[in-house]
Copies of this chain bind each other. A is one copy, B any other.
Amino acid sequence: MTNTLTETLMNSGYGSSFSLVLDRQRGELVEAPVKLERKGVSTERTIDALKSHSEAERRRRARITAHLDTLRSLIPATTKMDKASLLGEVIRHLKELKKNAGQACEGLMIPKDNDEISVEEQGGLNGFPYLIRASLCCEYKPGLLSDIRQALDALHLMIMSADIATLEGRMKNVFVIISCKEQNFEDAACRQVLTGLVHQALRSVLNRFSVLQDILGTRKRRRVSIFSSSSSEDFL
């Protein structure tokens, strides 16, 4: 594109000087109603308006293509790629990143200040008959996970995977749980009972830990935290 401004202007709109217009429905050329009825407006005004209009439009296009170029630089292997295809790739990457961010944020967000237990069904994916997704946010408690595992054993459940994030003495865990026994999971009521049991089990483990922690706290004045551990109180 080495056209000068003048060249571009001189070259544009030739086809329309036929005073003919394509009627798509009839498939033929028809006379265009020549709109010279601009009697009142002065020619200079028209020129200025036209000029500023096309210039504004040019600026708008420049803005858009600049952003498009930025996107090209952001997404790999999109140089020399079609404008539409580029946008398609942008969409693909955006969805991909959002998916990753979603599972990263959902499972591993910073633990909140308030305690939280949530248990919900997870649609039977990958041929697994029935999965439960349990989330737990509480004070940091070493050994909590093994206690939870034992509690779930009693329900004939297995922890398939666990994501654990800890920060400033608090922890957030997200488990994916599967049933060990053959059961009728088509029944919604049955499923609801199971999730209720899981919730109850997690709650009881948490309570047990809290009681234990209270005892230790009153007896030894020890605060369970990875920040200020027992022996490190001697220093700093």
Which residues of A approach B to under 8 Å, CB–CB?
A: 5-6, 9-10, 12-19, 21-25, 27-29, 32-36, 43, 47, 50-51, 54, 60, 63-64, 67-68, 70-71, 74-75, 83-84, 87-88, 90-91, 93-95, 97-98, 100-101, 104-105, 108, 142-143, 145-146, 149-150, 153-154, 156, 158-168, 180-181, 226-232, 235-236
Contact = CB atoms under 8 A, between A and B. Distances in A.
A28 B154 CA distance: 90
Q: Tell me the number of copies of this protein.
A: 2
B5 A25 contact: yes
11 contacts: A6-B23, A9-B22, A22-B47, A22-B51, A29-B47, A67-B87, A74-B91, A74-B95, A143-B143, A158-B232, A162-B167
A236 B156 CA distance: 9
A83 B62 CA distance: 12
The 7 closest A-B pairs by CB, nearest first: A16-B16, A142-B146, A67-B87, A97-B97, A13-B16, A164-B164, A153-B231
B19 A17 contact: yes
Contact of A159 (B19, B63, B68, B226): B226
B226 A149 contact: yes
A98 B97 contact: yes
A17 B29 contact: no
Nearest to A167: B161
B22 A236 contact: no
Nearest to A59: B84
A35 B230 CA distance: 89
A78 to B, nearest CB: 12
Nearest to A24: B5
A64 B93 CA distance: 17
A63 B86 CA distance: 11
A94 B108 contact: no
A100 B104 CA distance: 9
